Every structure is written in C-alpha cells, then in structure tokens.
Structure 1
Amino acid sequence: MRITIYQGAATPPTTAEITIVIDVIRAFTLAHYAFLQGVNRICLAETVTQAFQIKQKNPEYLLAGEEGGYAIKGFDLDNSPYHLQKQTISGKTLVLKTTNGVRAALNSLSSDHLFVTGLTNARQTADFIRDRMAGENEKKIHIIASHPDGDDDLACAEYIKDTLENTHAVSVRDMKERIINSQAAEKFFDERNTAFTQEDIDHCIRELDTNFVMKVDKTTEIPMIERVKV
C-alpha cells in the first residue's frame, strides 16, 4: 500500500484507488450514528441551496448538517450526534451538508472506492480496507483529514494509517487526547457557547463495534453514503 495523508477539503493533487475521508467533529460521526439508528442512506449535498432542492423533490427526506459549525435555518436536524440520539429516524433518508467532511468527500469522487468515517468507525474501516481491498498489489490510498488545520481529523488519519500498516505505533489514548484538545473541540467545552454541547465530543471519541463501513455510491445522480457489511 502507498498511503498519503492530506489535510483539508480541497481536491487531492493526484487520484487514488481508495480514499478515506475523515470528519471526526462531526459529520461522519453523525452519519455513523444515523445508520445505527436505522437511516437507509445519506445524500451528500454540496450547498444549502442544493439540499433544499433535494428536499423539495423528496419531502420525506430529512436535512441535516451545519454551516460554519452552526445549525442551518430550515434544516430538520443539526450536525450533533448527541441531539440525533433523541430523534426517530429509522427508515429515513438524510441529506447531509457540512463545511469540511461532505465537501472533502465530494472533492474525492475520482477515487475508485471512497469511504467516509469519524473515529467511531475508523478501525473497522481500516481493517476492512486492509483485509478485503488492499490485497497484495501496491494500491494507492489517500487519507483525507478534512478539517484544514484541526488536529482532530489529522490524529484520526494517522491512526487509520497506522492500522492499515499494522504497525501499532499510534496510541489510541493519545489520539483521543489530541481530539479532545484540538482547536475544533474548544467551543464544545465553552459553557457560554450554547450552540455546542460537550456531549458531542463524548460521542465523537467512542470506538463502536459495528458490522458495517460507510462507502460513497458515486453511480447515483447525487452521491450517497451507504452501509457496506463487513
């Protein structure tokens, strides 16, 4: 495997057979919990306008996400995995629009296989790719830490790279500490900022034992995250 880590949501300078896009706080953590709560699929919207257009054609869909970290007026859900736990969403389709994670995924569609994850499903994703997809060929793998300068996604990217290479050089404890102490996490611990809740970080740093990974279906008109059983 030839593994390269990139940081930020921009299109990588080269293409890869496999790309893993990371958004720990909070887009793909939210997506993981949504699937665990029974969501069927998650559409990736590039803009707020596109999200509303999708909703207009499909009134039963639920809009979720954020802009600049904040809830979007008119959306059904924000980007909080903690708040999501209180919602009944089984059987639904979500439309997700976020600042970094979704944008980075949409900018990586040229990859043959595109996966998304937060920390909650990071090991499962890395194990699946290493054991089922990488094979003996020198596959090129991109790991995208979607936050442009946040240590949260970068810490998770290094953890995934370590898992893919099976080197055991990255401590899970240290990685979680880096996420908690990252700039992206600061506002969640600020009690004066009621738009964010510390419980979201608690959800973001859990490793969950689930039987699926999240892969983007690029064949549809609107790219969609779907569950792939492991």
Structure 2
Amino acid sequence: MIKIHQGNSLKLEPSDCNIVIDVIRAFTVAHYAFLNGAKRILLVPTTDEAFSLKRKHPNFVLAGEEHGIGIQGFDFDNSPKRISKERLDNLTIVQKTTNGVQATLNSLNTKHLLVTGYSNAKSTASFVKKVIKGRSSTINIIASHPTGDDDLACAEYIKALILEQNIPANIEIEKRIKQSHVCEKFYDPTNLLFNKADIALCSREHPSNFVMKLVQDSEIPTIERFAL
C-alpha cells in the first residue's frame, strides 16, 4: 500500500518505508553534495543545534535556510547550483531547512527512510522496489512542502514508478515543478536572494547509482549514500 501525504509536520503511523521529498531545494542540494563527495549529512531542527555541532566539530560544514533564505554564519545556503560547484570530499554536512529536513525528522518511525528530490527520484523508486516486497508493505511518500506542486508531482511520479503503472512523462513532471508557486520568487529579477539556476537543477533528472537513506541507529538523524 502506497500513500502520498503533503506537509512537514505530519505524524504518521509506523511503516515499512517513508520517502521524504524536497525538490526545491533541500534534497536536491543533498543529492549534489553526495555527487561531489560528501560523506554524510546530519539533519538538525534548529540553527542553534547546527552551530553547536560546528563548535564541537570545526570541520563540519553547515548548509541550509530559514524561510528560504541562507543563514548567517552557515557555510552554504540552500542552493543546489552553488553546491554543485564545490568539492566536498569526505566532508560531513549539517543541514537545517524549513520543509525537507523538518518532514524527515517527523518521519523516523519506519524501517526504511529515504529522502530525495526529483533529480534522484528514479533511483529512489528502484531501490524501494528492490528492498520493499509484498503487497502488505506500507510505503508513505511525503511531499514536504505543505502547498507546493513541485513535491507533489515528484511524489506521484515515484509512486507510479514503484507500481509500474501510469508513469507520467518526464516533461509533465518538469513542467509542474517549474510552474509551481514555489518557483515564483526564483523568476523574479528583483529578488536577488534566489537564483533561477537552482530551478534548472531541481527540475532535471540526474539518476545516480545510490540513494540517500537515513541511518536508523544514529544519535543524530544522518543521511548516507546507499548503493543501488
């Protein structure tokens, strides 16, 4: 059974698998961070916790946003375009975001917890099909933005891929992402806080040979690469 939910503050029943989606932009950032060599990503709910970890571990790298805007004192904002240009070999990233991270921290009550944007959606669906077997399995797909059609489009795409039924064309998904109200500020030339180049990466598939999976026994919820 596969259910799609929307929002970042849901409290779901125990499941076999939860997939948390943040297309614009947290888990597109995470995907490109891993592509560029990051070792792991720690998820924290507050900036205070992020800064505390940085004080204890000066080599940690802070990335994220509040209300979409980069956080003063963080090493990176929430831009996949920017992080795609960085070498992050073997680094630990601490990530704090409004929707994706928060939704993930509320989705820990499961056997398998994965995160993704659209860029690695196909690989994520393939992993779930391989690992989760049986009609009685419960899979929740969480579109973390409470009102964004970008995450919802990606959720519907992943569900169709897992079920191998009525799979929408990529051009349809990409159109929904780009036309989501979440993108409006990125296309506003007067708003210099948001880079429209981020949307190009968020709306482009870049399937990888790994998925982004939470380490269930970690003291701090931690995303690591798991090979397909």
Shorter chain as normaliser: what TM range? over 0.9
What is the aligned partner in structure 2 of residue 226 from structure 1? 224
Say if 1:55 and 1:62, in contact at 8 Å, map to a contact too: yes
Give the SS at the match of 1:206: coil
CA distance in 1, matches of 2:206, 2:86: 20
Provide runs of 4+ in structure 1 moved above 4 Å: none
What is the aligned partner in structure 2 of residue 161 from structure 1? 159
CA distance in 2, matches of 1:52, 1:91: 20
Say if 1:114 and 1:216, in contact at 8 Å, map to a contact too: yes
CA distance in 1, matches of 2:194, 2:148: 17
Q: 2:182 aligns with which of 181, 184, 192?
A: 184
Per-residue displacement from partner, 1:12-37 (whole Å, max 9, x unpaired)? 34221100000000000000000000
CA distance in 2, matches of 1:71, 1:104: 19
Which segment is superposed worse, 30-39 or 4-13? Answer: 4-13
What is the aligned partner in structure 1 of residue 193 from structure 2? 195
> So what's the TM-score if we normalise by structure 1?
0.97
What is the aligned partner in structure 2 of residue 36 from structure 1? 35
Say if 1:6 and 1:12, in contact at 8 Å, map to a contact too: no
Per-residue displacement from partner, 1:170-217 (whole Å, max 9, x unpaired)? 222111101000011111111110111111000111111311000011
CA distance in 1, matches of 2:175, 2:14: 32
Say if 1:29 and 1:117, in contact at 8 Å, map to a contact too: yes
Say if 2:13 and 2:109, in contact at 8 Å, map to a contact too: no
Say if 2:50 and 2:62, in contact at 8 Å, map to a contact too: yes
Aligned-pair CA distance for 1:137? 4.3
CA distance in 1, matches of 2:157, 2:218: 31
Aligned-pair CA distance for 1:221? 1.1
CA distance in 1, matches of 2:49, 2:143: 24
Q: Which amino acid aligns with 2:37?
A: G
Q: Which amino acid aligns with 2:152?
A: L
| Gapped regions of structure 1 (runs ≥ 5) | none
What is the aligned partner in structure 2 of residue 63 from structure 1? 62
* Residue 130 of structure 2 is aligned to residue 123 of structure 1: no
After superposition, where does 1:22-101 map in structure 2 within 5 Å?
Answer: 22-101=21-100
How many residues are treated as equivalent by the alignment? 228
Give the SS at the match of 2:69: coil
Quote the RMSD (CA, aligned, Å): 1.0
| Gapped regions of structure 2 (runs ≥ 5) | none
> So what's the TM-score if we normalise by structure 2?
0.97
